[in-house]
Structure 1
Amino acid sequence: MSRIFTTLCVGALTTAFATEAMATEWNVSLWGKRRAFTEHIHKLAELVEEKTDGDFTMNISYGGLSKNTENLDGISIFAFEMAQFCAGYHPDKNRAITVLELPFLGVDTLEEEVAVSNAVYAHPAVQEEMAQWSAKLLMPTPMPQYNLVGTGEPRNELADFDGMRVRATGGLGRAFEAVGAVPTSMTASEVYQAMESGVIDTAAFAQHAHLSFGTINEADWWTANLNPGTVNCPVVVNTDAYESLSDAEREALDSSVPEAIDYYLENYGELLAKWDSVLEEKGVEKVMISDEELAKFKDIAGTPTHEAWIEEMGAQGLPAQELYDLVTSTLEETRASN
Structure 2
Amino acid sequence: MKDHLRWPQSRAITTVAVGGLAAAMLLSGCASGPGSDASGDSSEPDVTLTVASFLLDGTPNADMVHWFLDTVEEESDGSITFDYFAAESLCPSSEIVQCVVDGRADMGVVPAAYTPDKFPLQNLSALPFMTDDNAAMTRAFYELNKGNEEFNAESSRLGLTNLAYWPAGASLFGTKVPLESTEDFEGMRVRAVGDGLLAAMEAVGASPIALTAGEMYEGVERGVIDGLANNMDAPIAYKLTEVLDYWTDTGYGHYITIGMWISQAAYDRMSPAQQEIFDSAVERLNTGEGIAAFAATAATQCDYMLDQPNVELTRWSDEEIDSFKAMTGDTAEQMWIETAKSAGIEDPEAVLEEYRGYLDEFGADDTTRVAPLADCAERFANR
Using the size of structure 1 for normalisation, the TM-score is: 0.87
Correspondence 1:148-159 to 2 at 5 A: 148-151=173-176, 153-159=177-183
* Deviation per residue, 1:230-271 (Å, 9 max, x gap): 211110000121123210111111111244454442233234
Mean CA deviation greater in 27-36 or 253-262: 253-262
Match of 2:136 among 109, 112, 115: 112
Match of 1:200 among 225, 234, 244: 225
For 2:356, the equivalent position in structure 1 comes to 328
- More relative contact order, 1 or 2 (CA 8 Å, 6+ apart): 1
> Identity over aligned residues, as a percent?
25
For 2:171, the equivalent position in structure 1 comes to 146
Match of 2:208 among 183, 192, 217: 183
1:24 aligns with 2:47: yes
Mean CA deviation greater in 41-50 or 305-314: 305-314
For 1:280, the equivalent position in structure 2 comes to 306
Partner of 2:219, secondary structure, is: helix
For 1:317, the equivalent position in structure 2 comes to 344
Contact residue 103 and residue 302 of structure 1 kept, 8 A: no
Structure 1 stretches lacking a partner, 5+ long: 1-14
Call closer, same or farther: CA 1:336–1:109 in 2, change over 3 Å: closer
Contact residue 55 and residue 61 of structure 2 kept, 8 A: no
* Deviation per residue, 1:38-71 (Å, 9 max, x gap): 1122122222222222111111111232111111
CA distance in 1, matches of 2:255, 2:91: 24
CA distance in 1, matches of 2:329, 2:354: 17
Partner of 2:167, secondary structure, is: coil
Contact residue 192 and residue 210 of structure 2 kept, 8 A: yes
Contact residue 47 and residue 269 of structure 2 kept, 8 A: no
Deviation for aligned residue 1:313: 2.1
Which structure features the higher share of helix residues? 1
Match of 1:290 among 317, 334, 337: 317
For 2:332, the equivalent position in structure 1 comes to 305
For 2:6, the equivalent position in structure 1 comes to none
Correspondence 1:115-264 to 2 at 5 A: 115-122=139-146, 123-151=148-176, 153-170=177-194, 171-260=196-285, 262-264=288-290
Structure 2 stretches lacking a partner, 5+ long: 1-38, 367-383
* Deviation per residue, 1:117-171 (Å, 9 max, x gap): 21332321122121232211001233331110111x2121111111211111012
CA distance in 2, matches of 1:23, 1:162: 57
Call closer, same or farther: CA 1:85–1:276 in 2, change over 3 Å: closer
CA distance in 1, matches of 2:296, 2:149: 35
Contact residue 45 and residue 270 of structure 2 kept, 8 A: no
CA distance in 1, matches of 2:265, 2:94: 22
Structure with higher Rg: it is 1
Mean CA deviation greater in 180-189 or 258-267: 258-267
